[in-house]
Amino acid sequence: MKKIDRIIKHHGYRKERIIQILNDIQSIYNYLPKDVLEYAGQRLGMPLSGIYSIATFYSAFSLKPRGEHLVTVCMGTACHVRGAPSVLSRLEDRLRIETGGTTEDNQFTLKTVNCLGACALAPIVVVDDEYHGQTTVNKVDRLLKEYEKKKKD
């Protein structure tokens, strides 16, 4: 919990920085663990219910653990007209999960985002922090293979 103390201190123990604090917590754990939120709540003098309402309102937060790789499909308008829906359904088929879900082996979590603002590359799939532009249904297969291979290496 030392890390959490450091984050809260960095934000000056200010309750109004809760969204920033949660962002920082999530960047450590990949999601928001319950015990960490309870601890942060105590330190900030905030009830867990208050933190919960923030954590569930903003779509960037996850209360469930995420897989090793986060696959994000941009569903912005430019991506939509250039075929993002078929890219997404291909990913759902291949990973055998629905959007928002995590694969059984905990390798991949699939989510969508409204727009990444990199529309020239539409349709875009981001795996972890790497952008893959002009994605097609065929490219999805290659992309997943690449990451599965990395796992073996």
Partner 1 sequence: MKRRRKTEEFRLHLLVCAGTGCVANHAFDIKEELQKEIARKKLSDEIGVVTTGCQGFCERGPIVIVQPDGIFYQRMKKKDIPHLVEEHLLKGRPVKELMYIPSPREAPVPKMMDIEFFKHQRLIILRNRGRLDPENIDEYIGFNGYQALEIALTRMTPERIIKEVKASGLRGRGGAGFPTGMKWDLCRREPGRIKYIICNGDEGDPGAFMDRSVLEADPHSVIEGMTIGARAISVHKGFVYVRSEYPLAVKRLKIALSQAEEYGLLGKDILGTNFDFDIEVVQGAGAFVCGEETALIASIEGKVGRPRQRPPYPSEKGLWGKPTNINNVETWANVPMIISRGAKWFSSIGTKTSKGTKIFSLVGKINNTGLVEVPMGITMREIIYDIGGGIPQGKEFKAVQTGGPSGGCIPKNMLDLPIDYESLTQAGSMMGSGGMIVMDEDTCMVDVARYFLNFTQEESCGKCPPCRMGTKHMVYTLDRKTKGKGREGDIQFLESIAENVKLSSLCGLGQTAPHPVLTTLRYFRDEYEAHIKEKRCPALVCKDLISYVIDDKLCGGCTVCAKNCPSDAISGEPKKIHTIDQQKCTKCGICITVCPPKFNAVKKVSPAVK
Report whether 4 contacts 25 (CB < 8 A): yes
Find the binding residues for partner 1 in span 30-49 (CB under 8 A).
none
Tokens linked to 40? 């942060």
Q: What are phi and psi of 123, to 5 degrees?
A: -80, 145
Residue span binding partner 1 (CB under 8 A) among the ranges 30-38, 54-62, 63-71, 95-103: 54-62
Tokens linked to 111? 């989510």
Is there binding between residue 12 and partner 1 (CB under 8 A)? no
Report whether 76 contacts 38 (CB < 8 A): no
Is the bond preceding residue 123 a cis peptide, omega within 30 degrees?
A: yes
Residue span binding partner 1 (CB under 8 A) among the ranges 13-21, 35-43, 63-71, 96-104: 13-21
Stretch 61-90: interaction string toward partner 1, x if CB under 8 A: x-------------xxxxxxxx---x--xx
Binding site for partner 1 (CB under 8 A): 14-20, 22-23, 53-54, 57-61, 75-82, 86, 89-90, 93, 113-122, 124, 131-133, 136-138
